[in-house]
Amino acid sequence: MDNKEAVMNSSTLDQKLQNLINNEDVDAIIKAQQTTLRRLEKSNAMLTNCNTLSSQQLLLASEKFTRHTATLQEMRKDLQSIFTRIRTLRAKLKTQYPGEFSLALENNMKNVSFQESGVTPVKEEKQNELYESSIKSHFSQKPDL
């Protein structure tokens, strides 16, 4: 009888618990969970698509970045070569024509200061003509090597 009583007690307990639970509330909870599941699945699909597009764009951007970096490095080497040649030419001109070189530097500094201030002198064209004629006359002479 103990066994029968235990079964009866458990069935009555089960019935009492079922009476406590409202079936409409359970159905509402299940529907809310299903709605949430669908939304999360859609969000997951959208994020997967976004990640795919982002990875493709990252590949394209990294390829462009690599190409641009190589171009900049090549330009830097070219500029270093150009500036080295300019320094060499300036050193040669300074040793061969020290007076003209200092005159050229003075005129260059005047032009730079005028350009920075935004003021251009009225006699600038005449000065440039005189400067160019003096340079031409000195460079037309054969240098002593």
The residue ranges of every structural domain in the chain are 1-73
- Give tens-digit pLDDT for 56-87: 999 999 999 999 999 999 999 999 999 999 99
pLDDT computed for residue 79 by the predictor:
95
* Rg of the chain, C-alpha, whole Å: 44
d(CA 121, CA 61): 50
Please list, in sequence order, all residues whose beta carbon lies within 8 angstroms of the beta carbon of residue 138, skipping any fewer than 6 positions away.
97, 100
Predicted pLDDT at 145: 44
User: Model pTM greater than 0.85?
Assistant: no
pLDDT at 10: 74
Residue ranges of the chain with per-residue pLDDT less than 50: 122, 145
- The two tokens of residue 67 are 């190409």
User: How many angstroms separate the CA atoms of 137 and 39, rounded?
Assistant: 86
Could you tell me if 103 and 131 are in contact, meaning their C-beta atoms sit under 8 angstroms apart?
Answer: yes
Q: What backbone phi and psi angles, to 5 degrees, belong to 119?
A: -100, 130
Angle between helices 124-140 and 98-117 (to 10 degrees): 160
The pLDDT assigned to 34 comes to: 97
Whose structure tokens read 């493709």? 56
